[in-house]
């Protein structure tokens, strides 16, 4: 089980102060819980009085999801301060930890992820709350004891599960050392076996339930007596059967009273159904979830506007354990009638990948969109009112998704202005934002490194951003520290090498040449792909590029370029191998697939510094009588996003070529070069420079891009309109830091005077 109370987020984990999170932390959550976060005072619920959504915070690695939960934990279950301890019934569970450490699998038939989480919830939510008492979970506890108590003879893993869960559910026994086990707690309730015989394992669940029901001190009211407890399970079974038969809710008669001698047995029936597995197990898990929500509703916190609501924080619900639990909760809430709805506040976090349109998979499926009926809101929209109401009958309609937005450039500038005495390149804030794409943790650490160096140096340039050292770490690169946090160091060299690959096949080519070892028992490329997909750095087997997230890919590519990654594989050798791979593949393909491989061939040649070869090809394609301007621009756009080669001279040389300051040198080297080829050369270098995250495309360079595209539009036989539209829109997109647009419908468009459409 995960720890009920975790440490406060450290300085490096905290969200930047300028990050817009206050509408969530200080407005929406207090309205949900019903208790002010800074004062021990109830507040009226102005929304969600009858139906509560699951609040889902989604974002990439390092966007502050766990830090937000840490902030809420310190507000509502602090370790110290004026109100130490839980101020509301509180639980926090990390689903990743549950999945990693729980004993779950085919060989362990008395446990599952849902059972593991429910046991943890009962344990945490049962803690006393000053001024309000405590929640009790008689229905849930009895059902869980029935499920976990059965075990097969000789199965030590199942015995450990039974001992651990039973000790947690039954509570500590005073003066008992060592810790209690199932035998010490429940064996006395077993039937006495014949002399010399051993207890019948099938009797274990009933014995555990009978032991629990015999603890009379647990029942503080007649409603929670064992008769009502057994009757609740019988009522649930009858209602489930009627639902399967198509009868309306409430159509069944009340179940017959369960005799006292049969109550433990009636609850213990859960065990047999659970151990049959598959759909039977899912049905039992649904019953246990219903018991849990019923216990929450009928506890001392049942009156939603008179006492604060219980608060559950679920971290990493994108995992199998988190998805299983959340699906059960949402399915039950979708079936609840108005009178039976629970008042449990659930705030969850999930990991989602880069939402870049260029890499996003347009095919909606359960993996990419597990909650299709969910309502989406931005953080600034939920300050005074969330606007959420259940709009459908699907389980996912009970989800309110709050995507955690990236930082703006103004946030980065604020981080850099913490010390008025430092000086650095004015463009560096834009460079940090373009590189990180507003990633909060990445921006924070890079800004810390910039300010740290600026305090000892006279000037810090954007070009050296990725080569700065980490503050407080002698000689350690800030880039290495970032990568170690985001993906770990175990497969660092392989990921650096694979960051150059466009797809799985290209990564396999690299692995076949330079990576003989296996990753997670799979060939290197396959193992890395599984790891990347699991952590949402890529989008599955067909992911293009191989590493989809642009921020992570930029970090890994720079490690490779600087020689600090790739196990010593030479930058130029890797690009030569991949260029040949795409050239051969382009020869065997046609249409869009062939064009994509041709663009990737040029991409790798340009990354290797062979700019003249790329210019020759682009010019030859431009002057073809049957050349398609849209295809040509597509290849140019893809090629220009190639990473720069190693060395610091690229920044100056590429900018000079793009601005036309080396036209005379080109003419001297090739007296036969024409104006068209010179324009292609300038345009390629200008776009290549503008595409680099650390390079500043100034006004002169932006204007030159528009001028060269306008000149080429007049020279192309069939693509005048397409190139003219690009001449208007690409400079604007470069200036604004946006993706360069390209649409085939431009073939029929004619630009208006002044560049307006």
Q: pLDDT band at 430, cuts 50/70/90? A: very high
Contacts of 218 (CB under 8 A, 6+ apart): 136, 138, 212, 224
pLDDT of residue 359 exceeding 50, the answer is no
The strand pair at 345-351 and 375-376 is best described as: unpaired
The tokens describing 657, both together, are 């070529």
Please report the pLDDT score of residue 83 as a whole number: 67
| Choice among 106-110, 361-365, 390-394, 728-732 with the minimum mean pLDDT | 361-365
pLDDT of residue 581 exceeding 60, the answer is yes
- DSSP H stretches of helix in 562-590: 571-587
Question: Residue 522 forms beta bridges with which residues?
Answer: 519
Q: DSSP code of 307?
A: S
Rounded to 5 degrees, φ, ψ at 400 are: -115, 110
Q: pLDDT band at 202, cuts 50/70/90? A: confident
Please report the pLDDT score of residue 498 as a whole number: 96
pLDDT of residue 9 exceeding 70, the answer is no
Residue pair 26/37 in contact by the 8 Å Cβ criterion: yes
Q: pLDDT band at 254, cuts 50/70/90? A: low
> In 87-240, at which residue ranges do the beta strands (DSSP E only) sit?
90-94
User: Tokens 């690169």 — which residue?
Assistant: 477
User: Tokens 């468009």 — which residue?
Assistant: 749
Please report the pLDDT score of residue 358 as a whole number: 43
pLDDT of residue 656 exceeding 60, the answer is yes
Give the global pTM.
Answer: 0.85
Residue-wise pLDDT for 135-175, tens only, equals 889 999 999 999 999 888 888 899 999 999 999 998 766 55
41 dihedral zone (left: phi>0; alpha: psi -120 to 50; beta): beta
Q: DSSP code of 27?
A: I
Local structure of 463: helix, strand or coil = helix
The strand pair at 90-94 and 311-315 is best described as: parallel
Residue pair 538/547 in contact by the 8 Å Cβ criterion: yes
Which residue pairs from 676-680 have beta carbons closer than 8 angstroms and sit at least 24 positions apart in sequence?
A: 676/619, 676/622, 676/623, 676/712, 676/715, 677/615, 677/619, 679/708, 679/711, 679/712, 680/615, 680/618, 680/619, 680/622, 680/708, 680/712
Please report the pLDDT score of residue 250 as a whole number: 63
Residue-wise pLDDT for 694-704, tens only, equals 999 999 999 99
Residue-wise pLDDT for 334-343, tens only, equals 988 776 788 8
Please report the pLDDT score of residue 10 as a whole number: 40
Residue pair 138/224 in contact by the 8 Å Cβ criterion: yes
Please report the pLDDT score of residue 753 as a whole number: 46
Please report the pLDDT score of residue 724 as a whole number: 94
In angstroms, the CA 159 to CA 170 distance is 16
Mean pLDDT of 564-582: 94
User: Tokens 């290849």 — which residue?
Assistant: 635
Mean pLDDT of 223-243: 77
pLDDT of residue 57 exceeding 80, the answer is yes
Please report the pLDDT score of residue 368 as a whole number: 61
Please report the pLDDT score of residue 19 as a whole number: 60
Q: What integer best gives the mean pLDDT of the chain?
A: 85
Q: Is 634 exposed, middle or buried (0-12, 13-18, 19+ CB in 10 A)?
A: middle
pLDDT of residue 752 exceeding 70, the answer is no
Please report the pLDDT score of residue 196 as a whole number: 59
Please report the pLDDT score of residue 51 as a whole number: 86
Q: pLDDT band at 299, cuts 50/70/90? A: low
681 dihedral zone (left: phi>0; alpha: psi -120 to 50; beta): alpha
Pairwise pLDDT comparison (359 vs 717), residue with the higher score = 717
* % pLDDT > 70, the chain: 87
pLDDT of residue 363 exceeding 70, the answer is no
Mean pLDDT of 620-636: 92
Residue pair 81/104 in contact by the 8 Å Cβ criterion: no
pLDDT of residue 133 exceeding 70, the answer is yes
The residue among 298, 330, 338 whose CA lies nearest residue 314 is 330
In angstroms, the CA 50 to CA 54 distance is 13
Q: In what order do the strands lie in the sheet with 54-59?
A: 90-94, 311-315, 345-351, 54-59, 399-403, 375-376
In angstroms, the CA 559 to CA 651 distance is 18
Please report the pLDDT score of residue 193 as a whole number: 73
Please report the pLDDT score of residue 744 as a whole number: 75
Residue 436 has, within 13 A of its CA and on its CB side, a CA count of: 33
pLDDT of residue 609 exceeding 90, the answer is yes
In angstroms, the CA 265 to CA 750 distance is 81
The tokens describing 57, both together, are 């915070």
3-state secondary structure string across 226-294 = HHHHHHHHHHHHHHHHHHHCCCCCCCCCCCCCCCHHHHHHHHHHHHHHHHCCHHHHHHHHHHHHHHHHH
Q: pLDDT band at 558, cuts 50/70/90? A: very high
Q: pLDDT band at 705, cuts 50/70/90? A: very high
Mean pLDDT of 379-393: 87
pLDDT of residue 184 exceeding 90, the answer is no
pLDDT of residue 260 exceeding 80, the answer is no
pLDDT of residue 180 exceeding 80, the answer is yes
Local structure of 385: helix, strand or coil = coil
The tokens describing 400, both together, are 């309110």
The residue among 332, 248, 330, 240 whose CA lies nearest residue 280 is 240
Please report the pLDDT score of residue 229 as a whole number: 83
């Amino acid at each position: 089980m995960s720890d009920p109370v975790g440490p406060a987020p450290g300085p490096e984990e905290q969200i930047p102060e300028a990050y817009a999170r206050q509408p969530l932390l200080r407005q929406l959550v207090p309205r949900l819980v019903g208790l002010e976060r800074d004062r021990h005072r109830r507040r009226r619920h102005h929304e969600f009085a009858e139906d509560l959504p699951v609040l889902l915070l989604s974002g990439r690695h390092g966007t502050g999801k766990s830090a937000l939960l840490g902030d809420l934990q310190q507000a509502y279950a602090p370790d110290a301060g004026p109100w130490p301890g839980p101020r509301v019934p509180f639980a926090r569970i990390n689903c990743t930890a549950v999945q990693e450490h729980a004993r779950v699998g085919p060989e362990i038939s008395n446990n599952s992820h849902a059972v593991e989480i429910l046991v943890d919830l009962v344990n945490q939510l049962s803690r006393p709350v000053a001024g309000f008492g405590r929640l009790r979970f008689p229905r849930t506890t009895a059902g869980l004891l029935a499920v976990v108590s059965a075990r097969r003879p000789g199965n030590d893993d199942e015995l450990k599960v039974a001992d651990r869960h039973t000790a947690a559910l039954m509570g500590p026994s005073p003066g008992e050392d060592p810790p209690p086990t199932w035998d010490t707690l429940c064996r006395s309730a077993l039937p006495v076996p014949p002399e010399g015989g051993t207890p019948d394992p099938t009797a274990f669940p009933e014995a555990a339930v009978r032991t629990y029901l015999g603890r009379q001190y647990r029942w503080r009211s007649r409603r929670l007596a064992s008769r009502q407890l057994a009757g609740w399970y019988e009522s649930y079974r009858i209602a489930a059967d009627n639902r399967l038969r198509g009868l309306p809710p409430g159509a069944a008669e009340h179940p017959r009273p369960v005799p006292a001698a049969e109550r433990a047995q009636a609850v213990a029936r859960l065990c047999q159904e659970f151990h049959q597995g598959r759909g039977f197990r899912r049905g039992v898990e649904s019953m246990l979830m219903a018991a849990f929500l019923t216990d929450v509703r009928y506890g001392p916190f049942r009156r939603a506007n008179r006492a604060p609501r219980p608060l559950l924080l679920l971290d990493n619900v994108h995992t199998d354990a988190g998805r299983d639990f959340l699906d059960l909760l949402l399915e039950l809430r979708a079936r609840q009638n108005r009178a039976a709805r629970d008042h449990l506040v659930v705030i969850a976090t999930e990991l989602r990948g880069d939402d870049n349109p260029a890499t996003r998979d347009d095919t909606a499926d359960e993996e990419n969109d597990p909650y299709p009926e969910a309502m989406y809101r931005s953080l600034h929209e939920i300050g005074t009112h969330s606007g959420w109401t259940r709009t459908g009958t699907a389980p996912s309609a009970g989800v309110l998704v709050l995507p955690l937005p990236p930082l703006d450039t103004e946030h980065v500038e604020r981080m850099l202005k913490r010390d008025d005495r430092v000086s650095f390149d004015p463009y560096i804030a834009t460079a940090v934002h373009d590189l990180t794409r507003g990633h909060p943790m990445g921006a924070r650490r890079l800004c810390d490194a910039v300010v740290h160096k600026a305090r000892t140096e006279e000037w810090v340039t954007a070009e050296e951003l990725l080569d700065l050292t980490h503050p407080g770490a002698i000689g350690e690169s800030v880039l290495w520290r970032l990568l170690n946090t985001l993906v770990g160091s175990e497969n660092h060299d392989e990921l650096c090498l694979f960051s150059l690959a466009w797809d799985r096949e290209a990564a396999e080519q690299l692995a076949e040449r330079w990576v003989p070892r296996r990753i997670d028992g799979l060939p290197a490329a396959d193992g890395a792909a599984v790891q990347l997909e699991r952590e949402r750095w890529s989008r599955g087997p067909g992911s293009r590029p191989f590493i989809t997230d642009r921020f992570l890919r930029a970090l890994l590519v720079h490690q490779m370029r600087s020689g600090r990654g790739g196990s010593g594989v030479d930058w130029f050798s890797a690009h030569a191998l991949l260029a040949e791979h795409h050239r051969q593949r382009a020869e065997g393909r046609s249409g869009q697939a062939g064009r994509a491989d041709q663009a990737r061939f040029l991409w790798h040649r340009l990354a290797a510094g062979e700019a003249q070869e790329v210019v020759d090809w682009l010019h030859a394609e431009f002057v073809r009588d049957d050349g398609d301007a849209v295809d040509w621009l597509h290849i140019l756009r893809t090629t220009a996003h190639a990473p720069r080669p190693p060395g610091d001279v690229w920044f100056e040389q590429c900018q000079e070529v793009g601005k036309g300051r080396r036209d005379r040198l080109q003419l001297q080297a090739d007296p036969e070069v024409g104006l068209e080829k010179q324009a292609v050369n300038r345009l390629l270098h200008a776009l290549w420079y503008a595409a680099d995250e650390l390079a500043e495309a100034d006004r002169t360079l932006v204007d030159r891009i528009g001028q060269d595209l306008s000149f080429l539009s007049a020279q192309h036989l069939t693509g005048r309109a397409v190139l003219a539209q690009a001449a208007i829109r690409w400079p604007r997109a470069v200036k604004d830091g946006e993706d360069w647009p390209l649409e085939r419908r431009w073939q029929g468009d004619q630009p208006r005077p002044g560049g307006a459409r």
